[in-house]
Structure formats: C-alpha cells, structure tokens
Amino acid sequence: VKPRHWLLVIVVVSAPIHSWQHGLPSSAHTGPAKGFPPQPSAVSPQFVGAGSCSASACHHGNFVNSHTGSEFTIWMTRDPHSKAYEVLFEERSLHIQKNLHSPHKAHEDQRCLKCHVAPGLDAALEKKAPYFRTDGVSCESCHGPAENWLNVHHLPPWRRMTRGAKKLQGMNDTQTLLGRARLCASCHVGIPGMDVDHDLIAAGHPRLNFEFAAFHAHMPRHWPDAKDRNPNSSPRGRQDFEARAWAMGQLVSAQARLILLADRAGDPQKPWPEFAEYDCAACHHDLRQPSARQQKGYEKRKPGSMPWSNHLFLTTRILESLHDQGDPQLVKVLGNILQTFNASKSNRKDLAKHARDAASFLDRWQQKLDTQPTDQKWVDHLFESILLNEGPTTRATSEEVMHLQVSLAALYRARIDLNMPALPADLRNSLFRLSTRFDLPANHYDSQPIRNRMIEFLKIATKGQ
C-alpha cells in the first residue's frame, strides 16, 4: 500500500483547474496584485475546446497507459478531472444549490463552473461556446486557452520558445513544480472568487483537503513521469522529486490560503468570521463526556473560542531547510495572524493585512525552491526537523495532525526514491499505521484515533525525546 492511499478517502472529487498566472502578488502590500486573481483580460485568448486536441493523430491515441499521443485518452478514461462537470448534475449538487437558495442550477452557476470547468470560462465566453462546459476540467483548463497556440504548438519554433513567451500566447507553465502547484491550488485550496467557504460546505460541498504531492501522485500520468524524476531523461528531472513536490505544494498552498484569508477578512461584503478558516473538528464533534478537548486544555486561546486551522506551521521548517535563517519576518507575521485570531475580538482588517504581508514573503521562497538544487541531505534534514520540532503540534488541531502525517508520508516516499537507508522497522510500521486510512465508524469523522497514532508515531520517531 502506498503511504498516501488514505488520501483517496478524503479526496475531493470536484476536480478543478485553471491557470494561476505567474504573477502572484509581489506587491501585496498595496492590495490585490494585478493579474491576481487571474482574470481573463479583454484580449485574452479564447478556449477552443478539448475536441480540438482530440484528433487521433494528436492526443487521442489508443493507449491508456503510455502517454505520448494518448493524453486525451488517458484524461478521458482515467482522470477524475474529466468528470468535474458531470458531478454538477448529481443529487448532492442539487441539494447544495437548494440549500444556498441559489436561483441557478449548479451546472449553470458561474460560481460552480469556475472550478468545475475552468476559471477563464466567464459568461461572455460561455455564450460563444457553451458546449465546452461538458468537457469538465479538460486540456485548456490547465494548459491555458489554445486559440493562439493550437496550430503552432507542435512545431519546432514553438518548442524553442521560453515558458514566458508561451505564457504570452496563453499556454500555462505545467513543467515546473511551481507552475503546476499554483494551477492545482487555485481550485483545490481556492483563491478569491473561487472560494469554497463554510456556507458552501454546510450546504453540502465536500470541504477542500489538499496536499499537492499526494494529489499529484494520484493523477493518471498523461505526461512522461521520467522527465520529472530522472535527471538522465530531462534537465528538469530530480531524484528527490517527491520531496520537492511536497515542499513546493506546502509553499504554494500556504500562499493560496493566505491570499484567500486576506480576501475573506478584507472584503467587508464577505461573511466574517469565515468558519472555513477554522479547524472543522473544533466545533464539529458530538458532545461527549469525558471530553478529550477539555482534558487537553486550551493553551493560549480562550476556552470555547474557535481555533484557526493553521496549515502553515510546516512552511517555516521548509524555509529553514532552504536557508539557515529561514524567514524571521514571515515567522513574525504568522505569529501576528495567530495572535489576532486568538484575540477575543479578531480584527479582520488587521488579519487581512498580516495575511497579505505573509503571502508576499512566500513569492521569493517559491522561486528559490524552484531553482535551488536539493539533495539527500536536504530530505533527511527536513524529515528530522519535522519529527523533532513538530511533536508538540500533536496538541494542536486535528487538521494539523493530518497535515503532519501527509507530509511525513511524502518525505518517506522521497527517501525510498533516493535509495536512502530504510527507516527502523517500528518507525516504518507506525508510519504505515498512520497512513493507511482513518478507521472510523461508518461515515463519522473523528480525529481522535489519528491523533493517538500520531502520538505513538512521534514517540517512536523521537525515541521519547
């Protein structure tokens, strides 16, 4: 069993994609950066539909396992993204719209289509080509609208173009981890305008629960995997790909979360407090006696207050692994965010500012990771620093525990890829126990078993240190 198979249990089936453009808010201090969230400009190229890619001589070959020439086939037959539009007709989707008192049907609601088809597919464009919807999250949803490059992208001159030049023609960067992670995170974490907020979750939408490396690993490959992992096969190949994918996923997801937080807190029209920012299981648990929460205590926050679901606590470890000092500025701002959340009256304006600051700091680190070579030592260092330093987080929210678990699983996988020495048997077994799946009573989500396993795992890993 692959260490991360458990994720399938909670994988959100909604499979959205769009082009998170290269320009993240580098000038976040001055408000939302231009080009972010991605808006199709007046001159933006148009979608041509997956049908334009699926000529049998191009991407619709007869193979479902190998890639070249069969990309469309693989996507159509095996990739859940191709079902993204269909799910809008399911009973669950009908209920969601009903609960939200929405005048639209899910498959006609722009709010849904932005992730379930493509972010650029706005109403005006839709009138031109409504049938693109039925493709779900298809070729252009990730690779970018093909109007300008459809006819040239197989020609040698195109291949010699830089990623930036291609971007100008509408083709997204799906080669670098940074490019990929941003594409995925824009739907799977969310960005302003594509926000799975608590209203939507309560109406019935599955909550988003994203870890880039694990989701990436589960995608049916319609691209040559060796190019990612084997340095001999491509200049971009990295043997520690899995660890890099995890780290990049962390940095990008963290940034997306911060941008989303800045938007949720900063826009007075948006509901606040936005419950999706908080740990689900903090409120959503049957009342019990004895109560594990009461026994655990509330540490620095007021008993009964809502704890922020801090998904960023591993980010700083990654930064430290890339640079001795890490990013003290970011650590400080993250501290401010936590403090503002824990204050009896959280000031949403302050939160929005802190979140924008923090998001802007991450730009530079994402670029750094994208270009900086890494090695076995780096993986080992990350693994250890997480084990040794994040033990106390088992006392924090259940989501932090899950987060920790999924990260260790990714790093474990990277160790195997790198032929690093095997982990001691008890540690490995404990990690597997963590990773298999939640053993929950039918349908019920309960963080306690996973928390217990985490504690057991950390005890073994740190030998009781």
Which residues are at the interface with other proteins (CB under 8 A)? 95, 98-101, 197-204, 271-275, 280-281, 283-291, 293-294, 297-298, 302-305, 344-345, 443-446
What lies within 8 Å, CB to CB, of 221 at 6+ separation is 67, 74
Closest distance to other proteins from the beta carbon of 112 (Å): 15
What number of other Cβ atoms are within 10 A of residue 68's Cβ? Answer: 11
Contact criterion met (CB below 8 Å) for 96 and 205: yes
Token pair 């809502």: residue: 306
**What whole-number distance in Å separates Cα of residue 84 and Cα of residue 135?**
8
CA of residue 391 relative to chain centroid, distance: 24
Residue 234: what residue type? S
Residue 315: what residue type? T
Closest distance to other proteins from the beta carbon of 48 (Å): 38
DSSP 66-91: S-TT-HHHHHHHH-GGGGTTGGGGSH
Closest distance to other proteins from the beta carbon of 104 (Å): 16
What lies within 8 Å, CB to CB, of 222 at 6+ separation is 67, 70, 71, 72, 74, 75, 79
Structure tokens at 5: 């198979």
- Which residue's CB is nearer to other proteins, number 24 or number 196? 196
- Which residue's CB is nearer to other proteins, number 263 or number 357? 263
- Which residue's CB is nearer to other proteins, number 197 or number 456? 197
- Which residue's CB is nearer to other proteins, number 1 or number 287? 287
Closest distance to other proteins from the beta carbon of 6 (Å): 17
- Which residue's CB is nearer to other proteins, number 271 or number 424? 271
Rounded to the nearest 10°, the torsion over CA 291, 293, 299, 300 is: -120
- Which residue's CB is nearer to other proteins, number 101 or number 377? 101
Contact criterion met (CB below 8 Å) for 211 and 275: no
What lies within 8 Å, CB to CB, of 435 at 6+ separation is 1, 3, 4, 5, 6, 405, 409
- Which residue's CB is nearer to other proteins, number 302 or number 323? 302
Closest distance to other proteins from the beta carbon of 386 (Å): 27
- Which residue's CB is nearer to other proteins, number 203 or number 423? 203
Closest distance to other proteins from the beta carbon of 58 (Å): 41
Closest distance to other proteins from the beta carbon of 2 (Å): 24
Closest distance to other proteins from the beta carbon of 186 (Å): 22
